Structure 1
């Protein structure tokens, strides 16, 4: 077998693998949207679920998911960016750096259920917060922080050294070069990484079962005092997210319109996660074109 035939065979194998993944993913998306898309309506998106009679929706679960996403990203993005900047610009090749990278890789490969059990011990029991939004947000931070660090580090490494050298040659110090040259050049990758990380947060369920809880109190959306137990902005209340709601509805089956709520919730979750990923690609390309004038 000559090299040309081997190259064609390898190319066909790679194309076949890629097409197989696309077909499987497309079939799953079409199946979920076909069975759940017909139940999506405005009332379904804003009403709370009904336990006694049919006709409920997923309004509180959607709000809890986005609020939990906000609380988690408030911690994940700045800490992850600072860690990535340190590894990319300041860290030297020594045992400390190797230990940090090993810790990041280990955290990045931990099953989410293990992080949930850690969150149950550290954030739920030891702090006394109980099942709450803040406990779930910190558990999700543990999951997504290694990814944000790696994305920041890789984005900074992608900036040409010539830009750094030009900035230093003009009299800027290292920190000024990072803030005014490196980070703006790496900004498209940082934005894409943050949005992709947000999509992971929205679809997480296992870690939240042990931290944020599997139920939500009756929320009063006219109450904006964050210390009120009925306030939707209270970070110390338990909160059932959309992903947890799908698991709970399918396992317990206590509501009369089980199939409608489960299928509709799954379709909404798929659309939101797809929206995060498509937004990341579109926004990253748009920012890159604006910054490079191409």
Structure 2
């Protein structure tokens, strides 16, 4: 009996040691990743942000002379992002709700889910080629803002649909049953109970697609073009749709301006800063909600 007790004690002690070692390994890996990420961010931001000026942000670009700005490219970046989200959010979230709540469990639905997952992993340049064939060649509208925004919306749709479906499916069934038992219809249950419970996952998906769309370059190159109309605040949907990532690529590869390297550094820093800001802006309401919920729990206790 004693030998069995000692054997069990040794096995428990060995398991504890393994847990401690794995904890240390995971901690070291996590810290290493964070250090690498923050070092990369520091290098990019420190080279560009101190040199940033209002003229650079809102001025017109120069072809040869130094001192040009990125105003039209920056405006196009936000404009195309807004248009793409305006198209993709209702369709993507609606499709996710349908697949999670209304679609029957049959082979056709499974085929649709498999297709959505496959499209989520397709490289963006494939969507860009599709957009080029549809908008530039078939409809013959050329390199335009509306073509780039529509193609970006197609890129966003599979990711939004899949993330929305998973977020809604993660809501416990008991929550739905309780709402239905109180007399709510299925639509009321989805709108007032299920969606608020799944909002954190849905907002995370919106953050992912917004940041990806803002930094996208392959689609813009093929469908939006590499330049702009040359006019600041040009919101015409048929204007050329060059964005900040495309301008960054152009400056680094083909530009003739004397300060190309400085423009590239400032554009890189601005691009990283805006992506971080978009991600923070989408997640900030969730943080506020969590703080309010935590505060209420403490007050109740």
**Greater than 3 Å deviation, 4+ residue runs:** 287-294
State the distance in 1 between where 2:198 and 2:227 align.
40
The equivalent of 2:5 in structure 1 is none
State the distance in 2 between where 1:288 and 1:6 align.
35
Tell me, yes or no, if the aligned pair for 2:216 and 2:245 is still in contact at 8 Å. Answer: yes
State the distance in 1 between where 2:26 and 2:102 align.
39
The equivalent of 1:190 in structure 2 is 202
SS for the counterpart of 2:224 is coil
SS for the counterpart of 1:163 is helix
Matches within 5 A, 1:56-135: 56-135=68-147
Tell me, yes or no, if the aligned pair for 1:188 and 1:287 is still in contact at 8 Å. Answer: no
The equivalent of 2:6 in structure 1 is none
Structure 2: segments with no counterpart, 5+ residues: 1-10
Q: Among 132, 152, 165, which residue is 1:153 paired with?
A: 165
Q: CA offsets per residue over residues 145-165 of structure 1, 9 Å max, x none?
A: 111112212221233323211
The equivalent of 2:155 in structure 1 is 143
How big is the shift at 1:6? 2.2
The equivalent of 1:181 in structure 2 is 193
How many aligned positions are there?
284
Tell me, yes or no, if the aligned pair for 2:60 and 2:230 is still in contact at 8 Å. Answer: no
Q: Among 263, 266, 283, which residue is 2:265 paired with?
A: 263
How big is the shift at 1:168? 0.8
How big is the shift at 1:289? 5.0
The equivalent of 1:55 in structure 2 is 67
- Cα-Cα RMSD: 1.9
Q: Among 226, 235, 240, which residue is 2:237 paired with?
A: 235
State the distance in 1 between where 2:220 and 2:94 align.
26
Which is higher, the Rg of structure 1 or of structure 2? Answer: 2
The equivalent of 2:283 in structure 1 is 281
State the distance in 2 between where 1:282 and 1:149 align.
23
Structure 1: segments with no counterpart, 5+ residues: 222-231
Tell me, yes or no, if the aligned pair for 2:131 and 2:223 is still in contact at 8 Å. Answer: yes
Q: CA offsets per residue over residues 135-186 of structure 1, 9 Å max, x none?
A: 1112211221111112212221233323211221122221121122212332
State the distance in 1 between where 2:286 and 2:222 align.
34
The equivalent of 1:225 in structure 2 is none
How big is the shift at 1:105? 1.2
- TM-score in terms of structure 2 length: 0.88
